[in-house]
Chains A and B, each alone.
Chain A
Amino acid sequence: MAITRRKFLGWMGAAGVGVTVGKTARAASNKHFTGHPDSMGVLHDIARCVGCRSCEAACNTVNQLPPPETSFKDLTVLDRKRRTTPPEYTVVNRYDATSAGSKQIYRKNQCNHCLEPACASACFVKAFTKSEEGAVIYDETVCVGCRYCMVACPFEIPTYEYDKALTPRVTKCTMCHPRVQEGKLPGCVEACPTEALSFGKRDDLLKIARERIRKDPDNYIDHIYGEQEMGGTSWLYISNVPFKELGMREDLGITPAPALTAGALGAVPIVVGLWPVLLTGIYAISQRKDKVAEEEQALAVAAAQQATQEKADAELKKTLEMKEKEKETAINMAVKKALDEAAKAQEEAAQAEEAAQAQEAAAPAGEAAPEAQDDKDQKQTEEDS
């Protein structure tokens, strides 16, 4: 359909203005979510971890997970880096940190229970919830097995039971949410012998971490990992070697994952709500205009047609009248002519008769009768027409 430049610009301008009318969308409610008040967290002091795997064993017991292939007392599994798997909500890995000399450093890896979780943001069936206690909990009854959460997690934590495709289930650390609600400690925290894991309110843990760093600045790196990474996590780490050497990403930034898409997603309602109405309106208006124009045109055409018709009728009438007149005139003339002729004929006939009488005395009267008969016939036909 051909569209004029003016129309096109008009539509675009209206659409653009429509979008700016809405406010910039933000994740959650305000500027920055710092966690539910009094939400709990865990502080992992990497300097204290000795790689004993008691936390893994306790997690296995508390969550009633299947027994592992190699016993938790077997420390040779630390020879290779492991990631979380469906029956292993948490793993301890060993790192040969170059900056600590030949010392071996151990770190426990598990869901970090972000303040604004990427998994919750990516899940379109709302399987993940950030609970008030701080844990990010998962509802397997609504899960459809799309695994967007696995894609979204910047720490690559959620694991999936691929062998049970029809009952999709994603597994990850739950921060022992049921136990925490009862006032107990998470399994791993309770089991750690060197108190490399501390449990408490996230704000308190931050203070404890800062105090530990302050007391021993030559030992600890001056940074609490998780304080701001990805908008803040409930699982905090302090370490005596750079975090990069422990396989922890330092390129994540402080923007929470939902905020990365909040802008675009926030624009969707306004676009979906406003644009159809606006654009339809504009379309309708421009169509109406056309329609009105069409109607007017039709009217005008009709009027013109009618005028023409009347004019034609008038002319026709006039012509007919004229013709009538002419016909009358012609008839009159013809009649007159006929009368004249008749008169003339009569005169002649009279003359002829006289002559004839004169002659008649010499000829029959039959021949003059057909002539008079013809004249009479002519006169009839002319009167009829």
Chain B
Amino acid sequence: MEKGRKLLRWTGVIAVSTVLLVLGAAAYGIEQAGDKEALRSADIIVIDTMSRFGRLDRPPVVYRHDKHTEALQKQGKDCAACHLKDDKQRLSLKYMRLQDLDRESSMLVYHDNCIACHTETLATGEKGGPITCGECHLKSPNAVSSWQAFGMDKSLHYRHSKALDKKCGDCHHQFDEKTQKLVYVEGQESSCRYCHKQQLEDKRIPFSEAAHEACIACHRETLAKKKEAGPINCAGCHDAEQQLEIPTLENVPRMKRNQPDVVFVKTGAKSGLTPEGALRTKAVPFNHQAHEIYNDTCRVCHHASLTSCAECHTVNGIKEGDFVQLEQAMHQLRADASCLGCHTEAQADKSCAGCHAFIQKGLKGDTTTCRACHMEGAPAGSEITGKPEEAMLATMLLNARTPVMGTLPIEDIPEKVVINKLTNKYQPVEMPHRKIVQALVKGIGDNKLAANFHADPGTLCQGCHHNSPQAKKPPQCGSCHGEPFNPEEPNRPGLIGAYHIQCMGCHSEMGIEKPVGCTECHKEK
């Protein structure tokens, strides 16, 4: 062979094998990187200030805030080492600057200050942070943020108001348009989030900034006075484990904010609110006081303001309410703030799910369920004006309700039911019927919501004895469930399927593990 061709052939072989080796090593390398445990921390901030200016030259820096706070504390420094004070003596949440700068300066702010401090620390002989480019701008940083959102709930709020001696104005403020200043108006305190949203709006700083400024500043001051205060580091509020360690009160005394005890739910007509819409359905008497107990915050229902729902959610829908009509606001299944939404969520509880997982959710167009809230004897929605007499009427109606679980007398509940319809392979099932009913009642306990809807004695039975009129002797399963796969009734299981889906489904939804396998329910023949 010519010398040239031999050389070419060997070059080719070496080139191909090099490529394969590199690719293989790269793949292997990636696997190895993934083996290391990712660092999980609640204080991880990804510094990507430069992303405003377009494509980044280097990957954004993964910065651990708490680590730095601790290190600086040891050096005797505090927040002011990195966060400058503005003219109102408030700490800016930005690093070493009060405002965002242009591209070059933004970069230099970080480089000059961070690297300088790191170099200083190294010079003293202590462990310092990275100095070179690639040590901060890691291509594949092995850190995962375990940051959990955090907010005020009524227990925490009570502890704060107690600590501050009920000086609400220390935290709560409003913006007065006339004087263009922040003022405190008593009786109009509300959640920070109603004004401070996720993003900066005009001069309204975003919620996270507002919270950090207000909360941490106050905590720092209090700590400086050597008193007990909340956390000032990231993990103290935002780490899941540390969140559990925050003390909570079981029975929080009621917050006084001029809220009603019992009221007819306003519908916006003739009640001094928006004039449109004449709601003809019977108004719903609503026990506001009781519902305050059931929820951790007011925000769950009062998601945008501490006023009546109908102010924004009118009967026909207006812009302020995002055109969400009053009916949707009250009945929408997936909204936490809606009555039906919250009640449906409650049905997912293990004591309820056995039956309710199989019952169709939402409005059923069946008068009995509607009447549970739109009670007989209540005035029409259009007649509600907000007069004090109405509150008394509402209270009377609610008291007339008997929030007691309705059950049939014990002798009407069969103790054992023998299911012997299909006995080819197995012996008849001896079902402990009364025990099951009693267990269900026990599971409900004194839950008022359940009691209100199950006040009628026959209602609970319909969990299993479904799709038939309420009766003391409900129809047998086999009177509707027969041969499977009937094209006329495509969604109706056959008898075997009906038994197993109902019994095993209920057990599975309620987390009951006991009858395991086939022979625990029916022995073999």
Residues of A within 8 A of B (CB): 48, 50, 52, 75, 185, 192-195, 198-201, 204, 207-208, 211-212, 215
The interface residues of chain B lying within 8 Å CB-to-CB of A75 are 517
Taking the complex as formed, is B457 at the interface, i.e. its CB lies under 8 A from any CB of chain A?
A: no
Query: Interface size (B, Cβ < 8 Å)?
Result: 16
State the main secondary structure of chain A at its contact with B.
mixed
Contact of A185 among B485, B504, B517 (CB under 8 A): B485
- In B491-522, the 8 Å CB interface with A consists of 491, 493-494, 496-497, 499-501, 504, 517-518
Taking the complex as formed, is B377 at the interface, i.e. its CB lies under 8 A from any CB of chain A?
A: no
Interface pair A195/B501, CB less than 8 Å apart: yes
Taking the complex as formed, is B132 at the interface, i.e. its CB lies under 8 A from any CB of chain A?
A: no
Q: Measured between C-beta atoms, what is the minimum distance from B45 to chain A in Å?
A: 30
Interface pair B501/A194, CB less than 8 Å apart: yes
CB-nearest residue of chain B to A199: B485
Q: Given the interface contacts A207-B490, A208-B490, A215-B360, does A194 sit within 8 Å of B485 by beta carbon?
A: no
The interface residues of chain B lying within 8 Å CB-to-CB of A200 are 485, 487, 490
The interface residues of chain B lying within 8 Å CB-to-CB of A50 are 504
Q: How far is the CA of A50 from the CA of B517 in the complex (A)?
A: 9
Taking the complex as formed, is B60 at the interface, i.e. its CB lies under 8 A from any CB of chain A?
A: no
Most-contacted residue by chain B among A185, A193, A201, A212 (CB, 10 A): A193
The interface residues of chain B lying within 8 Å CB-to-CB of A204 are 487, 490
CB-nearest residue of chain B to A52: B518
CB-nearest residue of chain A to B360: A215
Contact of A195 among B360, B487, B493, B518 (CB under 8 A): B493
The interface residues of chain A lying within 8 Å CB-to-CB of B500 are 193-195
CB-nearest residue of chain A to B487: A204
The interface residues of chain A lying within 8 Å CB-to-CB of B484 are 185, 195, 198-199
Interface pair B496/A195, CB less than 8 Å apart: yes
Q: Measured between C-beta atoms, what is the minimum distance from A69 to chain B in Å?
A: 21
14 A-B pairs (CB sep. < 8 Å):
A50-B504, A52-B518, A192-B497, A193-B497, A193-B500, A193-B518, A195-B484, A195-B496, A198-B485, A200-B485, A200-B490, A204-B487, A204-B490, A207-B490
Interface pair A195/B494, CB less than 8 Å apart: yes
Q: Measured between C-beta atoms, what is the minimum distance from A207 to chain B in Å?
A: 7
Q: Measured between C-beta atoms, what is the minimum distance from A176 to chain B in Å?
A: 14
Q: How far is the CA of A75 from the CA of B490 in the complex (A)?
A: 32
Q: How far is the CA of A75 from the CA of B518 in the complex (A)?
A: 12
CB-nearest residue of chain A to B496: A193
Interface pair B491/A211, CB less than 8 Å apart: yes
The interface residues of chain A lying within 8 Å CB-to-CB of B499 are 193
The interface residues of chain A lying within 8 Å CB-to-CB of B504 are 50, 194
Q: How far is the CA of A199 from the CA of B494 in the complex (A)?
A: 12
Contact of B501 among A48, A201, A215 (CB under 8 A): A48
CB-nearest residue of chain B to A208: B490
- In B336-382, the 8 Å CB interface with A consists of 360
CB-nearest residue of chain B to A211: B491
CB-nearest residue of chain A to B495: A195
Interface pair A195/B490, CB less than 8 Å apart: no
Q: How far is the CA of A208 from the CA of B490 in the complex (A)?
A: 6
Q: Measured between C-beta atoms, what is the minimum distance from A210 to chain B in Å?
A: 11
CB-nearest residue of chain B to A219: B357
Nearest 6 CB-CB pairings of A with B:
A195-B497, A194-B500, A193-B500, A195-B493, A208-B490, A200-B485
Q: Measured between C-beta atoms, what is the minimum distance from B369 to chain A in Å?
A: 18
Q: How far is the CA of A207 from the CA of B490 in the complex (A)?
A: 9
Q: How far is the CA of A52 from the CA of B496 in the complex (A)?
A: 14
CB-nearest residue of chain B to A212: B491
Interface pair A201/B487, CB less than 8 Å apart: yes
Contact of A194 among B490, B491, B497, B517 (CB under 8 A): B497
The interface residues of chain B lying within 8 Å CB-to-CB of A208 are 490-491
The interface residues of chain B lying within 8 Å CB-to-CB of A198 are 484-485
The interface residues of chain B lying within 8 Å CB-to-CB of A52 are 518
Q: How far is the CA of A340 from the CA of B121 in the complex (A)?
A: 158
The interface residues of chain B lying within 8 Å CB-to-CB of A193 are 496-497, 499-500, 518
- In B123-149, the 8 Å CB interface with A consists of none
Q: Measured between C-beta atoms, what is the minimum distance from B340 to chain A in Å?
A: 16
The interface residues of chain B lying within 8 Å CB-to-CB of A194 are 497, 500-501, 504
The interface residues of chain A lying within 8 Å CB-to-CB of B493 are 195
Q: How far is the CA of A56 from the CA of B180 in the complex (A)?
A: 78
CB-nearest residue of chain B to A193: B500
Q: How far is the CA of A48 from the CA of B360 in the complex (A)?
A: 18
1/0 contact string of B262-288 vs chain A (CB within 8 Å): 000000000000000000000000000
Q: How far is the CA of A52 from the CA of B490 in the complex (A)?
A: 24
Q: How far is the CA of A218 from the CA of B484 in the complex (A)?
A: 26
Q: How far is the CA of A239 from the CA of B272 in the complex (A)?
A: 52
Q: How far is the CA of A277 from the CA of B496 in the complex (A)?
A: 67
CB-nearest residue of chain B to A185: B485
Q: How far is the CA of A211 from the CA of B497 in the complex (A)?
A: 17
The interface residues of chain B lying within 8 Å CB-to-CB of A215 are 360
Q: Measured between C-beta atoms, what is the minimum distance from B111 to chain A in Å?
A: 43
Q: Measured between C-beta atoms, what is the minimum distance from B282 to chain A in Å?
A: 30
